[in-house]
Amino acid sequence: MSVAPSNPASAPPAPVIQKETTVGNYFISNYPPFSAWKTEDVPAFEDALKRAPKPDVPLGVYLHIPFCRKRCHFCYFRVYTDKDSAAIRGYIDAAIQELAIYAGMPFIGGRKPRFIYFGGGTPSYLSVDQLQHLTRSMRDLLPWDEAEEVTFEAEPGTLTDHKLKAIREMGVTRLSLGVENFDDHILEINGRAHQSREIERAYRYAREVGFPQINVDLIAGMVEETESNWRECVRKTIEMDPDSVTVYQMEVPYNTTIYRQMKAEGKLAAPVADWDTKRGWVRYAFSEFEKAGYTVSSAYTVVKSKERTRFVYRDRLWAGADLLGLGVASFGHIGGTHYQNEHDFDPYLKAVQAGRSPVHRALTPTADERLIREFILQLKTGGVKASYYQGKFGVDPRARFAAPLATLAQWGFARVDGDDIRLNRDGLLQVDRLLHEFFLPEHRNVRYA
């Protein structure tokens, strides 16, 4: 039997469908919002380092490599395009030193990382020598021999067969290729550094080298994208036959080149497709991937084989794993406390070189906030089980979230069916904007970054 949660008297009216792409972050990657994390709360992080971990909480490591060949016009990450090899070497040594600060602390509790993630920026921007020095030193401090997954983000134009071989030999199991689009004009006008011919070459080498899993990233709705271009991107991706595909809907956060241009021209709407169009394009992509045998595993991801193709980093993180975030501006979560490192190069290096942790803001969520976090992040898979939250948090989410679930049901996006809480495809395609319904009042309408 399928039932919608009871509709509270205060249920808000049907949603205003946001049409134009205006400035701001759409994608929700954590909760509470980063703007609630404070420097005053850093001592809570320092206390968490001194406590032994709770039993059965897995540990992961994320390292941010903040270098890129060019800055994409939609990018809001902390990246540098002007660092020479001495500065890069200094950064790598600082990241190793940062890991050394943490490696002997009680929160590790004898754990070996279950997942490792090299993100960016562009990890593949590093030379083979730099990568080997980095990974050997990291392994000496915290062995990875029990890692279920090692992910490495790569920009196609930085990959040679020699480098791909070295990346595989480092133990990388999941190579994530930032393809984004296959059209040279669209890549160029959006500031991407690579060209379409480099995609095919890098993918072929990567297959030859034998990575267990190759993911392809696409972005729906880049500047000047058309429907026929998008369809061609989907067709080419299916032809490549990757193990998984991640599809983002183009957003235009603050601190991007596109936003600065909008501001200079006094424009409120970004020069990219509106949200209805982008949702339509992702809907089309998902249905084409399904016809080709893929399964939708989250609002952004399709996988060729649900049994074989896992994404350990995402699944563990969304289930509350500890994450040791290393590098400039990195986010982490240790023993119940969220934290973020210094977000500029020099303060980050200075802190680490002085033997101090470079954490600059932190937040310890309440039990209710942890429940909200885990509920909203896992809802991005399209469905959750009430019994999971009852067992883990002692709270029935059907009761705790009765009002927002009723709202989503009234809008036609969600339903509760016994133990199952599910979003339909329409709900999944706009999940990030719907998740705000589950936020505490003080976290609504905040700037997310």
Instruction: List residues binding ligand SF4 (CB under 6 A).
Output: 68, 71-72, 75, 77, 79, 120-122, 155, 178
Of the two residues 260 and 444, which places its CB atom closer to ligand SF4 in the complex? 260
3-state class of 34 per DSSP? helix
Least distance (Å) from ligand SF4 to the CB of residue 27?
A: 13
Of the two residues 256 and 410, which places its CB atom closer to ligand SF4 in the complex? 256
Of the two residues 155 and 437, which places its CB atom closer to ligand SF4 in the complex? 155
3-state class of 322 per DSSP? strand
Distances (CA, A) of 367 to 42, 117, 337, 383: 19, 27, 11, 22
Least distance (Å) from ligand SF4 to the CB of residue 258?
A: 12
3 token code pair: 């039932």
> Is residue 115 within a helix (H) or strand (E), and if so which, with residue range?
strand 115-120
Least distance (Å) from ligand SF4 to the CB of residue 67?
A: 8
Of the two residues 45 and 67, which places its CB atom closer to ligand SF4 in the complex? 67
Least distance (Å) from ligand SF4 to the CB of residue 125?
A: 8
Of the two residues 71 and 168, which places its CB atom closer to ligand SF4 in the complex? 71
CA terminus-to-terminus distance, the chain: 41
Least distance (Å) from ligand SF4 to the CB of residue 203?
A: 17
Cβ neighbours, 10 Å, residue 31: 25
Of the two residues 75 and 372, which places its CB atom closer to ligand SF4 in the complex? 75
| C-alpha closest to that of 211 among 315, 309, 352, 109 | 309
Least distance (Å) from ligand SF4 to the CB of residue 190?
A: 9
CA 189 to chain centre: 24
Cis check: omega of the bond before 143, within 30 degrees of 0: no
- What is the Cα–Cα distance from 207 to 195, expressed in whole angstroms? 19
CA 292 to chain centre: 25
- What is the Cα–Cα distance from 330 to 332, expressed in whole angstroms? 7
